[in-house]
Amino acid sequence: MAEIEHFVDPLDKSHRKFHTVVDAHLPLFTAANQEGNGDIVRDLSMGDAVSRGVIGNETLGYFMVRTFLFLTDCGIRAEGIRFR
């Protein structure tokens, strides 16, 4: 894995390509579920996750989806991935 540093305007954390990932579903282990020993959420679209505040902003959501796609394209099973 690698790391990037992506600078974001603190007043506008939208992403111009977010529309391409709004319907993607990632395995999310939300803060509330972590505290209550809950399940991984798999039925929430990225658009809904951002609008509900589960994911902080569009830029973060966009790069989470891109990371998920990269990992699955490399052969890692989707069932073995979760985002906290």
Cα(44)–Cα(48) distance, rounded to whole angstroms? Answer: 6
How many whole angstroms separate alpha carbon 58 and alpha carbon 74? 24
Q: pTM here?
A: 0.86
Q: Phi, psi at residue 12, to the nearest 5°?
A: -145, 95
pLDDT in tens, 19-37: 999 999 999 887 777 787 7
Three-state DSSP at 28 gives strand
Q: Calculate Rg over the CA atoms of the chain.
A: 13
Q: Which tens digits make up the pLDDT trace of 33-62? A: 778 777 888 889 999 999 999 899 999 999
